[in-house]
Structure 1
Amino acid sequence: METESAAAAAMEHLPLKMRVMAAIDESDESFYALKWALDNLFSFISSTALPETGEKSDGLLTVVHVQEPNHHFGFPAAPGIQAYYPPSEVVDSVKRAQEQKSAAILKKASEMCKEKRITAKTLILDGDPKDMICQATEQIHVDLLIVGSRGLGKVKRAFLGSVSDYCAQHARCPILIVKPPKEDSKSG
């Protein structure tokens, strides 16, 4: 009974138009987080109606993917010889491949949203995913950020860093970190 009244009290404070951002990459964990949000959060948001007017509340979903910037490296040709820089055609080819990969990721996410009849905006950003996701939440005035968790242990998180950990500490909005089911995290 107490949980029902707590849930009802929490619903009173939900914004009429809740802005949600789901950050995704190519990982299964990020797509699981998006699926979880579509199945659980958005079905709840779209089913709630305001008691006074009967008007449905609505959520706005933005799916964001951050692609790391292309670094133009020089490679040493041999001892004593100047560095070799890849031709601009190679750099352009790498950039096009990265853009195609980002478009494919967002297309898959958009299809998931369409299956659930949820309209979503997509956004591709360039830069460090940790910083860009947090900046985007501020610029779009997000009410909730959703990210997946790869289930890294403490040591791996310390060395590799974790986007979800960083966002939990630096995002200026509530963040929902969706962990994959145990059977999925053991097999991957």
Structure 2
Amino acid sequence: MELEYKNILVAIDGSHEAKWAFEEAVKIAKDNNAKLLLVHIIEEIGLGSFESYELIITKRVESSIFEMLESYRTNAVNAGVSEVEYLIEYGSPKNIIPMGIAKQNNCDLVICGATGVNAVERFFIGSVSENIARYAPCDVLIVRNQENN
């Protein structure tokens, strides 16, 4: 039995691992003539009494993320993926991606990079990819680089 995917979500955070996940997502989307949804989650950081600075920082961050996602979108289209969208959200990626965005967009595959989270941090809070794999309503592919395979 061959799996067929029509709505693929790929988590993009600017890391090398996310780039490898994107490259794998493009291959799978082309093979399945699937829609590709590029997602970046901005983790909100409260700065307390520095609200005006937070707004300035947020606008700069949004601008650079928009440019990054637009570049990824262009690369996917140039590689032959016919339908590519992107989405920027705020909050915790480990919750929003599997329990929000993947469900709302009827994704049948979520692709993310394996993270370099250290063992202590993973023990206390868990990795984003681990939470996505645990809570997504669909298949999840965690992409590792060639050195880890």
When the two chains are superposed, the root-mean-square deviation of aligned CA atoms in Å is 2.0
Q: Does 1:169 align with 2:134?
A: yes
Pick from 2, 12, 17 the counterpart of residue 10 of structure 1.
2
> Are the counterparts in 2 of residues 67 and 102 from structure 1 also a CA contact under 8 Å?
no
Q: Does 1:107 align with 2:106?
A: no
List alignment gaps of at least 5 residues for structure 2: none
Give me the TM-score of the superposition, normalised by structure 1. Answer: 0.70
User: Deviations for 1:95-117, whole angstroms, at most 9, x for unmatched residues?
Assistant: 11121122122122112212202
Pick from 15, 26, 29 the counterpart of residue 14 of structure 2.
26
Question: Which residue does the alignment assign to 1:43?
Answer: 30
Question: Which residue does the alignment assign to 1:122?
Answer: 86
Change (3 A) 1:91 1:150: closer
Structure 2 distance, partners of 1:125, 1:21, is: 14
Aligned partner of residue 70 in structure 2, secondary structure:
helix
Structure 1 distance, partners of 2:119, 2:11, is: 22
> Are the counterparts in 2 of residues 66 and 127 from structure 1 also a CA contact under 8 Å?
yes
Indicate the percent of aligned positions where both proteins have the same amino acid. Answer: 27
How many residues of Structure 1 are paired with residues of Structure 2 in the alignment? 146
> Are the counterparts in 2 of residues 147 and 176 from structure 1 also a CA contact under 8 Å?
yes
Change (3 A) 1:94 1:10: same
Change (3 A) 1:133 1:10: same
Structure 2 distance, partners of 1:178, 1:87, is: 37
Structure 1 or 2, whichever has the larger Rg, is 1
Which amino acid in 2 is paired with 1:129?
Answer: P
CA positional deviation for 1:159: 4.1
User: Deviations for 1:48-75, whole angstroms, at most 9, x for unmatched residues?
Assistant: xxxxxxxxxx3111111111124132xx
Please list every run of at least 4 consecutive aligned residues from structure 1 whose deviation after the TM superposition is greater than 6 angstroms: none
Question: Which residue does the alignment assign to 1:65?
Answer: 40
List alignment gaps of at least 5 residues for structure 1: 1-8, 46-57, 74-84
Give me the TM-score of the superposition, normalised by structure 2. Answer: 0.87
Which amino acid in 2 is paired with 1:124?
Answer: I
Structure 1 distance, partners of 2:142, 2:51, is: 41
Structure 2 distance, partners of 1:31, 1:159, is: 26
Question: Which residue does the alignment assign to 1:179?
Answer: 144
Change (3 A) 1:108 1:140: same
Change (3 A) 1:152 1:86: closer
